[in-house]
Structure 1
């Protein structure tokens, strides 16, 4: 019998782990959705017992006063940046919350001790519900990928990319990369969100999450050749099947909103994601706190595509036949 995978950290959704020269930093959505907190440890396992430090709290009123979601910690151009989403209230309009994307920054050597800037909005040029921003460097350029509602397209959010002028500002108009179109992307809600980027084996790989945040939540994959124009939608190919899904046999449900890091050996790629251990959720899944942070190593198939295996296991079994391009 395979040993089920235990959570790394309980009750932390939308997890993000950044590997730096002094170890690992962890940030995620907290159940109260009211603050940004960091952890640091010299190992990934050590993050479980690391003491959280609050670096920012939601404001009493205004656009940054509710539902602080999906923070990510990045280090770009000599500064630490935290990207996150916030809303002015818990009010739902036209089926959506009112989130916009923001960032805070510090030049401190240690982000746990830094004095952080006041939040600055990431302006995409489209004034609509948006969240889940991430940034990555490629060929000397900084890019931003995120999820946003476009009025003319049915559903909640699509995925967009733009080149950045600075870590806080975009340099190009948004380019739409993906919309929820397959059955597995439209269960409960029509969603593409939570993008994460990994550049390996000659490709820019972009994972994302789809469907409602219950047992239907799962991960999809886009990819482009690393020499291609990333701002051209034609450069990207989309898998028509999910690459990481619930594992009912071992009670791991809704795996997704992932990020990537590298293990202590400096070579093994690691998937970081959240999941639940049950499906009996009372009310809206967003208010259920039991999305836990998990990590597991990634395997690679002979064609250079990632194999994530089963979310209940701490490795990728040779018997797993998942393939991103299947």
Structure 2
């Protein structure tokens, strides 16, 4: 029997990839600049060839008319939500906000309604949502007039899918050299990974145009208060970084999903195939990852493009 394989990249121009698995389907999104597209596929390796639909287009002017970045689709209490970053095209980082679309029906056929922007304490980007002990929390990369870094990770409890309550708590800021490459000290792109009694908040570090853009990790026990910054322990080294040997540079801004039969864990990320290749060449890649005996994830080394990889289990 011939083994089915696929090759990276899945999408040549696919920055900030996000995949969400719901029952028998995968939903896929990437940064598209002035619009939000949604793909739907029954296979993970074929997500970029799935059905694709533009579900929102930026207005010609206004607070969310430009720099539409990093959309994420989530399902919360039976309804669908998309979180995306945008700004007015004039104010730079300090005018960036995270906006929300709601669909109470079906992602492809229902109506997407604008719910405005999330009431974060700081301007910011890369908003994500996770559930913990019956409550929903919002994590984002916040900007401010910080003397030592560009953006840091903040967390807050959610009153509803587009409104925060309470204080925005700083849980990670750039501290290590590997978080300060490319001329900017950056923590961004947070995404939650859960396993047994642990929460792993994976984030991207350094400037996205730097070869050394990489993934860091915060870890918390499920019995801890996630709004307490002391509950989170930061890894002192990147957990996923460039591979010169494999010609993979700037791997980051990832998401996670399961194989169709849900027996395998997969990471979805973007990377560049040449040193200093430029952000316009970020492409979407996927690969399987495993778990270490201590219960932490092992993402391994980014695989080279054009190398045959066994398809996810169940395809």
Give the alignment's TM-score, normalised by structure 1: 0.88
How far apart, in 2, do the equivalents of 1:238 and 1:273 lie?
21
Match of 2:217 in 1: 221
Matched, 1:305 2:301: no
- Per-residue CA deviations over 1:71-114 (Å, capped at 9, x if unaligned) read 0000001210000010101554xxx4631111100111x20122
Match of 1:292 in 2: 283
Matched, 1:9 2:11: yes
Match of 2:60 in 1: 60
Match of 1:77 in 2: 77
Task: Report the CA distance between 1:280 and its aligned residue.
Answer: 4.0
Q: How do 1:261-280 residues align onto structure 2 when only pairs under 5 Å count?
A: 261-280=257-276
Alignment partner for residue 187 of structure 2, among 162, 175, 192?
192
How far apart, in 2, do the equivalents of 1:156 and 1:270 lie?
30
Give the alignment's TM-score, normalised by structure 2: 0.91
Alignment partner for residue 235 of structure 2, among 231, 235, 239?
239
Q: How many residues align?
A: 301
Give the direction of change, closer, same or farther, for the CA distance of 1:248–1:265 in structure 2 (3 Å limit). Answer: same
| Native 8 Å contact 1:70 1:132 kept in 2 | yes
Alignment partner for residue 148 of structure 1, among 142, 152, 164?
142
Task: Report the CA distance between 1:46 and its aligned residue.
Answer: 2.3
Q: How do 1:100-115 residues align onto structure 2 when only pairs under 5 Å count?
A: 100-108=97-105, 110-115=106-111
How far apart, in 2, do the equivalents of 1:215 and 1:315 lie?
24
Give the direction of change, closer, same or farther, for the CA distance of 1:263–1:153 in structure 2 (3 Å limit). Answer: farther
* Higher fraction of strand: 2
Alignment partner for residue 207 of structure 1, among 188, 199, 202?
202
Alignment partner for residue 171 of structure 1, among 153, 165, 175?
165
Match of 1:134 in 2: 128
- Per-residue CA deviations over 1:18-61 (Å, capped at 9, x if unaligned) read 0002310001102xx01000000111122121132000001110
Match of 2:113 in 1: 117
Find the residue that maps to 2:114 and give its secondary structure: coil
Alignment root-mean-square deviation, CA: 1.9
The answer for unaligned runs of 5 or more in structure 1 is: 317-326
How far apart, in 2, do the equivalents of 1:186 and 1:115 lie?
41
